Amino acid sequence: DVKVTQSSRYLVKRTGEKVFLECVQDMDHENMFWYRQDPGLGLRLIYFSYDVKMKEKGDIPEGYSVSREKKERFSLILESASTNQTSMYLCASSSLASGDTQYFGPGTRLTVL
């Protein structure tokens, strides 16, 4: 089974702090994604990556950056956290071998005070 893990289930940070959210997948997938999930808005794509050291902006990249130094790991960085970044963050991975189906991690609920 594909396994996508995220470093924290719950995280509380203060405004202005630098925040790192880590995501690791164990199926050698080429593609990795970061979404945020908010009530009434569904999932919105923040950033994605099709290969190591490669990144592309999604629909709402402002205030975020990403890093993919290794194929299995995709990090989301909030350079200076703000209260409007309080949300559920979901990581996903996929590959051609998975038929382009995205597999999701359990999510990190981030609260910025």
Partner 1 sequence: AQSVAQPEDQVNVAEGNPLTVKCTYSVSGNPYLFWYVQYPNRGLQFLLKYITGDNLVKGSYGFEAEFNKSQTSFHLKKPSALVSDSALYFCAVSSDPYNTDKLIFGTGTRLQVFP
Residues that bind partner 1 (CB under 8 A): 4, 31, 33, 35, 40-45, 48, 90, 92, 94, 99-107
Nearest approach in angstroms of CB 16 to partner 1 is: 29
Task: Output 17 or 23, the one with its CB closest to partner 1.
Answer: 23
**Which residue, 60, 62, 100, is CA-closest to 79?**
62
In the chain, % helix, strand, coil (3-state, to 5) comes to 5, 50, 40
Return the number of the residue (18 or 50) whose C-beta is nearest partner 1: 50
Residue 41: C-alpha distances to residues 8, 35, 38, 87, 111 (Å): 23, 12, 5, 11, 18
At its nearest, how many Å lie between partner 1 and the CB of residue 8? 14
- We find the least distance from the C-beta atom of residue 33 to partner 1, in angstroms, to be 8
For residues 17 and 59, which CB has a smaller minimum distance to partner 1 in the complex? 59
Q: Which is nearer to partner 1, 36 or 79 (CB)?
A: 36
Distance CA 30, CA 74 (A): 11
CB of 68 to partner 1, least distance (A): 15
CB 44 within 8 A of CB 36: yes
